[in-house]
């Protein structure tokens, strides 16, 4: 599975990292949230085409929550 980090600032969403490991994206999401940005981790599983979010304390989910 590959993970991406998306931040949301003033209703504008921007991908800031693509194709990272889970450990890398968690560190980046935490750093962005400390800056005051809403950071979301999204994931894609190529084997079945499934997309979703990785939420803090909950793991993989269909609905995303900001870090």
Q: What is the C-alpha to C-alpha distance for residues 54 and 34, in angstroms, rounded to an integer?
A: 18
pLDDT (average), residues 23-29: 94
| pTM of the complete model | 0.85
Which residues, in sequence order, are bridge partners of residue 61?
53
Q: What is the C-alpha to C-alpha distance for residues 62 and 16, in angstroms, rounded to an integer?
A: 21
pLDDT grade for 13, boundaries at 50, 70 and 90: confident
């Amino acid at each position: 599975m590959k993970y991406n980090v998306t931040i949301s600032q003033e209703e504008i969403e921007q991908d800031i990292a693509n194709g990272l490991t889970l450990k890398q994206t968690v560190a980046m999401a935490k750093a962005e949230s400390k800056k005051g940005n809403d950071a979301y981790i999204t994931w894609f599983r190529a084997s079945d085409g499934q997309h979703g979010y990785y939420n803090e304390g909950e793991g993989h989910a269909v609905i995303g929550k900001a870090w």
